[in-house]
Amino acid sequence: MSEDLSRCAIHTMTNKPWSLAQCCAKYAAAGVGGISIWRNTVAPEEGGVGLDEAVKIVKGSGLAVPAYVRGGFFPAPGSAERQKAIDHNKTMLDEAAALGADQVVLVVGAVPGMALSDSRQQVRDGIAACLDHAKAVHVKLSIEPLHPMYAGDKSCINRIAEAREICEALNADADGHLGVAVDVYHVWWDPDLDAEIDKLGKGGWLLGFHVCDWRLETRHLLTDRGLMGDGCIDIAGIRKKVEAAGFHGFNEVEVFSEQYWAMNQDDYLDLVLERYQQV
């Protein structure tokens, strides 16, 4: 059942204990095709190595970079804060371009106490304000709907439908630079999943596909994702659907897990790749 790893990409956060250089070296040595880079490995203010050094490491590895993670967080009570978020996303677009990333993933944000509908409007306005910059640097923006358990403070967009509506509304301005990242962890439960994947495909908005699993007894809302095969998501079935909808990009492994971060990361990478090929 094994398949080659050329379309496998791994998010640096999956191997959180490793540096960017370690991730690049280990993934490339294992035959993995791509790396999705979290900003904490790049930006000095987040503990990263700095953009110039990161670019050197990534280009030297020969790995493709499907995604730079994660922009977004547009809604805020005041206009100055909203502008700050827009500026931050433009900075991330510049960094993504330097790293050769195809897209910046947007975790769109939410503000406790603000109506989700208002937040969504601010997200739409924020994305609209970034589109010219995205086009100028040739990097796409992909909206990642997050599971509703994050609606309080992380994402006012919880189903593909809301993300797709923004893509539709901004389609003319976006000129192919706006779409959706489908993460099985967030959307596997959606009764409209099949129809929405179809619509994304038809609109040309299906930009990313993230895999992990939903543990039946989740111990933590953020850092207890399962590895493919640990849980109850029909990953192979969803993958078939995104491929039928015309998606031929990377399958990005994105697992945040205290349990797996505590493992020897070389052993863990072997396990990740074993599960990727089995599941």
Q: Cβ–Cβ contacts within 10 Å for residue 138, how many?
A: 11
Q: How far apart are the first and last CA of the chain?
A: 9
Closest approach of Zn ion to the CB of residue 210, in Å: 4
Residue entry with tokens 């040595």: 29
Nearer to Zn ion, 121 or 223 (CB): 223
* Residues of the shown chain interacting with Zn ion in the complex, contacts defined by CB under 5 A: 183, 210, 254
Closest approach of Zn ion to the CB of residue 223, in Å: 14
Give the CA angle between residues 153, 109, 195 to the nearest 5°.
Answer: 105
Dist. CA 104–CA 99, nearest whole Å: 11
Dist. CA 235–CA 241, nearest whole Å: 10
Instruction: List the structure tokens of 140.
Output: 């796409």
Nearer to Zn ion, 48 or 145 (CB): 145
Dist. CA 183–CA 145, nearest whole Å: 8
Closest approach of Zn ion to the CB of residue 67, in Å: 9
Burial 34-60 (b: 16+ CB within 10 A, else e): bbbbbbebbbeeeebbebeebbebbee
232 Cβ contact list (under 8 Å, min separation 6): 213, 214, 216
Nearer to Zn ion, 39 or 82 (CB): 39
CA-wise closest residue to 133 among 181, 92, 171, 167: 92
Closest approach of Zn ion to the CB of residue 213, in Å: 13
Nearer to Zn ion, 76 or 143 (CB): 143
- Helices 160-169 and 116-137, packing angle to 10 deg: 60
Closest approach of Zn ion to the CB of residue 278, in Å: 21
Nearer to Zn ion, 27 or 185 (CB): 185
Closest approach of Zn ion to the CB of residue 60, in Å: 26
Nearer to Zn ion, 82 or 109 (CB): 109
Closest approach of Zn ion to the CB of residue 221, in Å: 14
CA-wise closest residue to 151 among 142, 162, 136: 162
Nearer to Zn ion, 183 or 224 (CB): 183
